[in-house]
Structure 1
Amino acid sequence: MKAKSTTIPMLHILVVPLPLQGHINPMFQFSKRLASKGLRVTLVTISSDTHHEPIETQLSLVKIESIYAASEEADKINAENKMQWLQNILSKRLPELISKQESIGYPISCIVYDSAMTWALDMAKGLGIAGASFFTHSCAVGTVYYNVHQGVLSVPLEEGPILLPGLPLLEPHDLPSFINDPGSYPSFLKLVVGRFSNITDADWIFWNSFDCLEQEVVSWMRTRWPIKTIGPTLPSMYLDKRLEDDRDYGFNLFTPNIDTCIKWLESKDTGTVVYVSFGSMANLEEKQMEELALGLKRSKTNFLWVVRESEIQKLPSNFEEQTSEKGLVVNWCPQLQVLAHKAVGCFMTHCGWNSTLEALSSGVPMVAMPQWTDQLTNAKFVEDEWKVGVRVKVDQMGIVTKEEIDA
């Protein structure tokens, strides 16, 4: 008689990020780390290409499954309704994907989902699968949203400073824009606060932060939930070097000008370049773009400025030609490589959480110019708590002037 096999099936983790660059990057990096420990990891992406080929990921560790969604359909949906559109697609296709994986001998053990997708936890539980919520912003910001969810912090805000557990004293302008200006994006406010609606049902709660950065607030959060800080989720070569050749995120929704940027930086002296970037989503008003351009032009500093193609028309006429001796404007760049370059001495940033973690990990001081969402809170911590940068001042119209930039 044949002995019964005692082989333990390999754990199979299904990772489901929001299809946004700032959400894909940390969850993909986390996927690489899990896969390096011997787990089977499959990352779900949204593709508009019906003939999409599987992506060869670094180390060939992470499997990619693309779910088709017509780009024409997505383009017609405004930002506030896109989450419902995404839920409609994924709630139908994910169970099919899970069934397919089981049929080929790789049943899913756990779904790691972006914290905005609370419905994914309900789906996982309904299928008898464990669920883990992944938060892509800071623990401090999460605490603010949680206190709004619990009714501890009322919206609209009352006047005066705000004291929340685990956090320093905050002014209204230090809070995420969805909180200090709730009328701006009411559906987004509902979304970010709603992340806590079923959080106690999650088997694990992962946070892209690290204990020594947010010690007080992390300690407070652990009195409520079993959270695990797993950040910063940067490629291994910029941290512990445990994953060989893990030098970049490997998942770019934009095409970086790698050779152009690095070659230009090589021509500059150590610490003489200001790197300017406001991420993949921020849209500066034309007046603000003009003031920023004029401030950089009149300064005596070299600058590398990322201006997305959709924003380039906001630059003053002939700006690039007039500043070509000391400045370079590109539509996207390899940010980690840029921040790690010896020529870069300062980072003018919107203070998106990923950019903030990258600057902290690279040891590059920041000029914080937050635009919306959690960036305002991140800027507060950059200047007052971690003391690794300064926050720009705005005029009565909310504009950062050329004089402020050149100061």
Structure 2
Amino acid sequence: MEEQRQHFLVVTFPVQGHLNPGRHLAKRLALLAAGARITISTPISGHRRMFSSISTPDEEVQDGNITYIPFSDGDDDGSSSRNFKSYVTDLELLGSQHLAAIIRRLSDGGQPVTCVIYTLLLPWAGRVAREHGITSVQFWIQPATILAICYHFFHGHQSIVSAHSNDPTFRLNLPNLPTLQIRDLPTFLTITDRDNPNFHFLSAFKDTIEAMKAGEKVLVNTFDELEPDAFGLMREHMDLVAIGPVMPPAQADASDSTPVTRDLFGEDGSRYMEWLNTQRERSVVYASFGSNLVLKKGQMEGIRRGLMESGRPYLWAVRREPSEIAVPDKEAAEPKTGEKGMEIEWCAQLRVLSHAALGCFVTHCGWNSTAESLVSGVPVVAVGRWADQATNAWMVEREWGVGVRAEVGKDGEVEAEEVRSCIEMVMGDGERGLQIRRKAAMWKERAREAIGEGGSSDRNLRAFIQAIQNS
């Protein structure tokens, strides 16, 4: 009788910031868990964008040694205007039914799932796994520090945060963490208006924390050396395993021709890499604000002006909405050697950050982008706006010293002069810039040691796989 193979089913939210770490983890599992089957399941809205050539939106896809099986969340074309509460209600109802059906189908086909790993905001996936007698594991795709902040918020500190939610400079002392201001917290913790469309993130995160406390193992996308205090604190309450920064198997050293991810947005060919090849070493400012944020016209103009006034060549991957923002004419968007700026819709970010021409990353400080900057050793200008970004920006500047945090103006937007001065501080010859670049180089080395063979995160992930295989 053939011995049962391990079968990891990775379940993710259908957005870039969840799919990327989910897919990278799946690839690491495929490399390290010899003979294991790996399946990724995400809602159809994300699946159909990753695989735009499929004949039907719910078509199963075999991509190398990873199988993709989507499920419906009631928003298969990604166009729903439901608020977050309505969406997550439908996601849980439909997702639970469809995930259970996928598990049964795989079992009936002789490929039983042995471990379900699910990303943030999907605690119901763990419940479905346990109902089928399958080991369930959470994948926390944000820093351990944010996990610690959320834990304290739901265990004795919610009232004081709520009472001072409108005072961004109020100083908050949480156990075993450095002093934080309200503006440094994840934004969903400071929402008190129940009519705010993001208010229900609170209950989603509370459910996630409660599932962790119930004894599930939690994989965390960070490394031990980066956040020792937060890990020391949270390991008293939860079974945490640091396995990050979770990157593609080639890490940040992929060649220009090597695809390192399957994004939801098509990149603009290779022209930006060809342009980078014409630039001097550590001379280029790269700017990107992630896959979700679409900048308003005024903010976009301010950032563009700040990039131009920095006097340095820049590459800007900017998400545009045609109804709000006029796209530059084709000739202006195709800079030639010697021109200062190039603006594109999307790019393979790790390839850009690992390029020798990169000198600075102006970023929204989502955790994937922050981790990629650490692995690549690129100094940061942090422009955090919502969710975990403000906390990540605080850590970039105060905890790790690898960048500066841009201050917002009275209108809540970052002005051109602030963008320009932050770039100059990070890339200039002053002592602050030199120190930031030294710190960035140091953390690059430590991050790569952690995820390299024999490093702390590599050892932790191998031990996790071994424990699953022995269970």
So what's the TM-score if we normalise by structure 1?
0.90
| 2:279 counterpart residue number | 268
Corresponding residue of 2:434: none
Partner of 1:178: 188
| CA distance 1:327–1:253, shift in 2 (3 Å) | same
1:105 maps to amino acid: G
Structure 2 equivalent of residue 203 of structure 1? 216
Cα gap change, 1:361/1:290 in structure 2, threshold over 3 Å: closer, same or farther? Answer: same
Q: 2 CA distance for matches of 1:389 and 1:395? A: 19
Residues 1:75 and 2:82 are matched in the alignment: no
- Counterparts of 1:162 and 1:284, CA distance in 2: 30
Task: State how 1:334-353 maps to structure 2 within 5 Å.
Answer: 334-353=348-367
1:8 and 2:3 aligned: yes
Whether the 8 Å contact between 1:235 and 1:248 is mirrored in structure 2 is no
Deviation string, structure 1 residues 138-188 (Cα, Å, up to 9, x no partner): 111111111122233424143631122332110111111112344342112
Change (3 A) 1:126 1:72: closer
Does structure 1 conserve the Cα–Cα contact (< 8 Å) formed by 2:16 and 2:263?
yes
1:288-324 CA deviation, whole Å, 9 max, x = no partner? 1121122222231111011113268436977983994
Instruction: Say which SS state the counterpart of residue 93 (structure 1) adopts.
Output: helix
- In structure 1, give the amino acid aligned to 2:389: Q
In the other structure, the counterpart of 2:426 is none
More moved, 68-77 vs 152-161:
68-77
Offset, 1:240: 9.3
- Asked if structure 1 preserves the Cα contact closer than 8 Å seen for 2:21 and 2:247, the reply is yes
* Higher mean C-alpha deviation, range 333-342 or range 231-240: 231-240
Question: Where does residue 227 of structure 2 map in the other structure?
Answer: 214
The match for 2:243 is 230
- Cα 1:126/1:87, change in 2 over 3 Å: same
Q: CA deviation at 1:392?
A: 0.7
Question: Which piece of structure 1 moves more, 334-343 or 164-173?
Answer: 164-173
Q: Which consecutive segments of 4 or more residues in structure 1 shift more than 6 A?
A: 316-320
Aligned pair partner of 2:111 in 106, 115, 127: 106
Aligned with 1:127 (options 113, 129, 132)? 132
Distance 2:245 2:139 in 1: 13
SS class of match (2:98)? helix
- Shift of residue 234, structure 1, vs aligned partner: 0.8
After superposition, the Cα gap between the structure-2 partners of 1:31 and 1:268, relative to the gap in structure 1 and judged at 3 Å, is: same
Query: Closer, same or farther in 2 for the Cα pair 1:179/1:71, shift >3 Å?
Result: closer
Partner of 2:19: 24
Whether 1:43 and 2:54 are equivalent positions in the alignment is no
Matched, 1:299 2:305: no
Quickly say closer, same or farther: Cα 1:265–1:90, change in 2 above 3 A.
same
**Deviation of residue 90 (structure 1)?**
1.3
| Deviation for aligned residue 1:282 | 1.5
Tell me which moved more, 159-168 or 357-366: 159-168
CA contact (8 A) 1:382 1:390 kept: yes
How far did residue 202 of structure 1 move?
Answer: 4.5
Which structure 2 residue ranges, 5 or more long, are not aligned?
49-55, 422-471
> Does the C-alpha gap of structure 1 residues 174 and 234 become closer, same or farther in structure 2, counting only changes over 3 Å?
same
Judged with a 3 Å threshold, the aligned counterparts in structure 2 of structure 1 residues 150 and 203 are, in CA distance, closer, same or farther, namely same
Aligned counterpart for 1:402 among listed residues 377, 402, 416: 416
Structure-2 separation of matches of 1:398 and 1:319: 31
Q: How does 1:129-168 map to 2 (within 5 A)?
A: 129-154=134-159, 155-158=161-164, 160-168=170-178
- Work out which of the residue numbers 376, 386, 389 in structure 2 matches 1:375: 389
8 A contact 1:205–1:227 mirrored in 2: yes
Amino acid at match of 2:275: W
Q: 8 Å contact 1:237–1:246 — kept in the other structure?
A: no
Which region of structure 1 is more displaced relative to structure 2, 11-20 or 39-48?
39-48
Q: Aligned letter for 2:213?
A: T
Query: Which residue is 2:429 aligned to?
Result: none
Aligned mates of 1:247, 1:194 — CA distance in 2? 39
| Alignment partners' CA distance in 2, 1:139 and 1:128 | 28
Unaligned runs of 5+ in 1: none
Per-residue CA deviations over 1:186-241 (Å, capped at 9, x if unaligned) read 11222223311222334311111111111110111111111101111111212699
The DSSP-based 3-state class of the residue aligned with 1:351 is: coil
Taking the aligned partners of 1:128 and 1:72, their CA distance within structure 2 comes to 29
- Report the residue type matching 1:45 in the other structure: T
- For residues 330 and 189 of structure 1, do their structure 2 counterparts lie closer, same or farther at Cα, with a shift above 3 Å needed? same
Matched, 1:192 2:205: yes
CA contact (8 A) 1:290 1:316 kept: no
Report the alpha carbon displacement of residue 18 of structure 1 after superposing the two structures with TM: 0.5
CA contact (8 A) 1:257 1:334 kept: no
Q: Find the aligned partners of 2:295 and 2:320 in 1 and give their Cα distance.
A: 13
Superimposed CA distance per residue, residues 244-303 of structure 1 (whole angstroms, 9 cap, x where no aligned partner)? 999544321100124011011111111111000000012323221121122222231111
Distance 1:69 1:169 in 2: 40
Partners of 2:219 and 2:375 in 1: how far apart? 20
- The 1:8/1:126 distance shift into structure 2, 3 A limit, reads same
Q: Write the letter of the residue equivalent to 1:266.
A: N
Assess if the C-alpha contact under 8 Å between 2:248 and 2:261 holds in 1: no
TM-score (structure 2 length as normaliser): 0.78
Secondary structure of 1:198's match? Answer: helix
* CA drift at 1:330: 0.4
Report which stretch shifted further, 255-264 or 16-25. 255-264
How far did 1:389 drift?
0.1
Percent identity reads: 34
Hey, what's the Cα distance between the residues in 1 that align with 2:364 and 2:239? 31
- One-letter amino acid matched to 1:343: A
> In 2 relative to 1, CA 319–96 (structure 1 residues): closer, same or farther, beyond 3 Å?
closer
Deviation string, structure 1 residues 376-399 (Cα, Å, up to 9, x no partner): 000000001100000112222222
**8 Å CA contact retained: 1:121, 1:202:** no
- 8 Å Cα contact 2:384-2:393 kept in structure 1: yes
